[in-house]
A = this chain, B = another copy of it.
């Protein structure tokens, strides 16, 4: 009985413990193993998603602020992570909340589009394991060759791993050196298929990038700081799935965008649930752009950002009237 402790035993232990409510020693005697082993199995069961512990995120939508934001920005749902009191690290708080919200939004059989970035990777990192075998996680945009730690494929694969789902990477560079090459590559059947499959997603997860020298696009060499500054003066307001958008949330008409291999914004908008998570307060304008462009239906932000959004909306309405 020392061969292959196997899923089987883990399952049984988890079943007896969590579903029947037995104590670990009772489980141990039923299964003829030591209690220590049971404890270990149970940990594994939790880690692999055989048991699922999830907490309602309702607390964060019950907030009046969240409700107001939903109304004023016409979003389906908003979650606000508290930042006021002795919270050690608000950005972690946001990531943890976003991970829970994400898991709550996923349904069996879903196809999920995932973009990339520090925020997305942080969410993946704190996401608890689940066992969603008939779920597919697809990468929304091309890869960056640069030795950068939040690569699009890493984000996709990590989330797929956590969910025990199928991961669908796509191996094209995010940005090419000429528009021609980008066009040609987009026409490739493999790539075209992947791109057209995006609109069949049921759920999307992304953050939004800022248009400044700290942007990921600059850090990993897709754009130089001066190019970025140029784009900014041309009206660039944010970055979504590797593409530059203007203040209205439309793709900016520029060479860079034409050289990018990524899901079209129209495809993104075709996804029913679009979860946008923003950690940094500095991403206020990019977020406004994303919302303006209808790229967001579900939003997770910190309390401070939420307040800014609400104030801004109020000011806009006042000005209009």
Is A15 a contact partner of B59 (Cβ separation < 8 A)?
Answer: yes
Q: How far is the CB of A240 from chain B (nearest CB, A)?
A: 27
A19 at the interface (CB under 8 A from B): yes
Contact status B56-A51, CB under 8 Å? yes
Q: Which residue of B lies closest to A100 (CB)?
A: B19
Is A131 a contact of B56 with CB atoms below 8 Å? Answer: yes
Q: CA A53 – CA B50 in complex, angstroms?
A: 10
Q: Do A51 and B53 touch across chains, with their CB atoms under 8 A apart?
A: yes
Is the pair A19, B96 in contact by a Cβ cutoff of 8 Å?
yes
| From B45, B56, B131, contact of A49 by CB (8 A) | B56
Distance between Cα atoms of A107 and B110 in the complex (Å): 13
Number of copies of this chain in the oligomer?
Answer: 2
Q: Which residues of B are found within 8 Å of A4, using beta-carbon distances?
A: none
Rounded to whole Å, the gap between the CB of A157 and the closest CB of chain B is 22
Chain A, 51-65, contact with B by CB distance < 8 Å: what is the 0/1 string?
A: 111111011000000
Q: Is the CB of B50 within 8 A of A51?
A: no
Task: Find residues 204-242 in chain A having any chain B CB closer than 8 Å to their own CB.
Answer: none
Query: Which chain A residues numbered 39 to 83 have a C-beta less than 8 Å away from chain B?
Result: 45, 49-56, 58-59
Q: Does B53 contact A18, Cβ atoms closer than 8 Å?
A: yes
- From B7, B50, B52, B55, give the contact of A19 (CB < 8 A): B55
User: How many residues of chain A are within 8 Å of chain B by beta carbon?
Assistant: 28
Is A319's CB within 8 Å of the partner chain B? no
* Bound CA span A8–B131, Å: 30
Interface assignment of A258: CB less than 8 Å from any CB of chain B: no
B53 touching A96, Cβ below 8 Å: no
- Check B52 against A55 for contact (C-beta < 8 Å): yes
A223-B135 Cα distance, complex, nearest whole Å: 49
Residues of B within 8 A of A58 (CB): 11, 50, 131
Q: Does A138 contact B (CB under 8 A)?
A: no
Asked if A30 is at the interface (CB within 8 A of a chain B CB), the reply is yes
Residue A14 interfacial (CB < 8 Å): yes
B18 near A55 (CB under 8 angstroms)? yes
User: With an 8 A cutoff between CB atoms, is A161 at the interface?
Assistant: no
Give the nearest-CB partner of A18 in chain B: B55
Given known contacts A49-B56, A50-B56, A52-B52, what 19 new A-B pairs fall within 8 Å (CB)? A8-B59, A11-B56, A11-B59, A12-B59, A14-B55, A15-B59, A18-B53, A18-B55, A19-B55, A19-B96, A19-B97, A20-B96, A50-B58, A51-B56, A52-B53, A52-B55, A52-B56, A56-B131, A58-B131
28 contacts between A and B (CB under 8 A): A7-B59, A8-B59, A11-B56, A11-B58, A12-B59, A14-B56, A15-B55, A15-B59, A18-B53, A18-B54, A18-B55, A19-B55, A19-B96, A19-B97, A20-B96, A30-B86, A49-B56, A50-B55, A50-B56, A50-B58, A51-B53, A51-B54, A51-B56, A52-B53, A52-B54, A52-B55, A52-B56, A53-B53
